């Protein structure tokens, strides 16, 4: 019954019990998502969705350190220097997969144990159930590499409580453990030592209904002990976050933080000032527009943005500074928010005509 189970496979696709199980299998690379993995997962997801014997789909990461640390963007940046094709294909097919997860007719359960960032969030957050553990580490850190929080970030981030999504998007702030659940990124929290048992119990269900599956998850969630009395890390700052980040421009957000002057505000200011000015402006507009769009409309918008970023300067410079040379000192162009013109911004959002992402 099992397919692709040789050790070298980058993704394992297996039928187990009542479920289809997807295992991201690049632990040395924190299960970073590449195009060949997307091309294996998508058709299998569609098959399982149609298969009357498959009652649920589970996705998890191998190795215990990461669910998926993001898309393998270094490869995309390097390919861009040779030719643009992979940059078109990767984002197009990744976003198609994000949409397929969202519209999946079978219960889809992502075990987001360990690092879950960027593309890893896209493989989980659009699914019906997301199970965090005390080892979960969530972030959308794209503004630091001259990109924007894609994979449907323009859809799910503005739908989090208050202006939390805008804060997470612009700063790349990391949420850990139970906070991933408190923020609404995860639907359940389970102590990591119980994760294996949870999976076994799900696989052992006989022709389960959605309610049966939800009951199992709920039972494990209710029994979880770790940090159960801990309040949300951003709880004390939420009122301020909601007020600072409700501004319509990045410049105004920065002014709000400066004016506040508290240590938390100045800490966020320091972080935002390191980000790509172009990325900050794209991201704020992406979230504002995305708040009233469907996921498919958002992914179409984000595909346009992705292609504009591939053809620009900051993404490749960000990948160089953070992932290749690791000097952590990107030289952004333009280097200042006021140099990012409305015209440049509008160009990022322009239709690609026949090259637009279509569903």
Give the chain's largest Cα–Cα span: 62
Contacts of 209 (CB under 8 A, 6+ apart): none
- The CA-atom distances, in angstroms, between 322 and each of 215, 275, 331 are 42, 12, 11
**Crossing angle (nearest 10°) for helices 73-82 and 85-102:** 140
Give bridge partners of residue 353 from the DSSP assignment: none
Distance, in Å, from the CA atom of 91 to the CA atom of 24, rounded to the nearest integer, reads: 18
Query: Residues with catalytic annotation?
Result: 71, 119, 142, 150
Lookup: tokens for 249: 């421009």
177 sits in the region (left: phi over 0; alpha: psi -120 to 50; else beta) called left
What 8-state DSSP symbol labels residue 59? E
Query: Which residue has 């140099």 as its token pair?
Result: 339
């Amino acid at each position: 019954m099992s397919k692709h189970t040789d050790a070298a496979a980058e993704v394992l696709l297996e039928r187990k019990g009542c479920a289809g199980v997807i295992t991201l299998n690049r632990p040395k690379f924190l299960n970073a998502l590449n195009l060949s993995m997307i091309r294996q997962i998508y058709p299998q997801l569609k098959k399982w969705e149609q298969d009357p014997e498959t009652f649920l789909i589970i996705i998890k990461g191998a190795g215990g350190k990461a669910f998926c640390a993001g898309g393998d963007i270094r490869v995309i940046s390097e390919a861009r220097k040779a030719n643009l094709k992979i940059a078109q294909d990767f984002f197009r097919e990744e976003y198609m997969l994000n949409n397929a997860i969202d519209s999946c007719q079978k219960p889809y359960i992502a075990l987001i144990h360990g690092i879950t960032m960027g593309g890893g969030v896209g493989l989980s957050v659009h699914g019906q159930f997301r199970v965090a553990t005390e080892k979960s580490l969530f972030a959308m850190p794209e503004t630091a590499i001259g990109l924007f929080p894609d994979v449907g970030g323009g859809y799910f981030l503005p739908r989090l409580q208050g202006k939390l999504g805008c804060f997470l998007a612009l700063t790349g702030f990391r949420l850990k453990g139970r906070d991933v659940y408190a923020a609404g990124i995860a639907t359940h929290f389970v102590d990591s030592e119980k994760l294996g048992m949870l999976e076994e119990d799900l696989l052992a269900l006989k022709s389960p209904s959605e309610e049966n599956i939800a009951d199992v998850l709920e039972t494990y969630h209710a029994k979880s002990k770790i940090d159960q009395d801990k309040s949300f890390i951003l709880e004390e700052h939420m009122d301020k976050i909601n007020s600072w980040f409700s501004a319509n421009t990045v410049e105004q957000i920065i002014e709000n933080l400066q004016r506040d002057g508290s240590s938390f505000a100045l800490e966020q200011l320091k972080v935002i000032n390191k980000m790509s000015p172009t990325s900050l402006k794209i991201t704020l507009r992406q979230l504002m527009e995305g708040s009233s769009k469907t996921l498919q409309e958002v992914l179409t918008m984000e595909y346009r943005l992705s292609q504009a970023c591939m053809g620009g300067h900051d993404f490749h410079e960000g990948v160089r500074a953070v992932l290749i040379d690791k000097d952590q000192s990107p030289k952004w162009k333009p280097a200042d928010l006021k140099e990012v013109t409305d015209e440049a911004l509008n160009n990022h959002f322009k239709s690609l005509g026949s090259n637009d992402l279509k569903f």
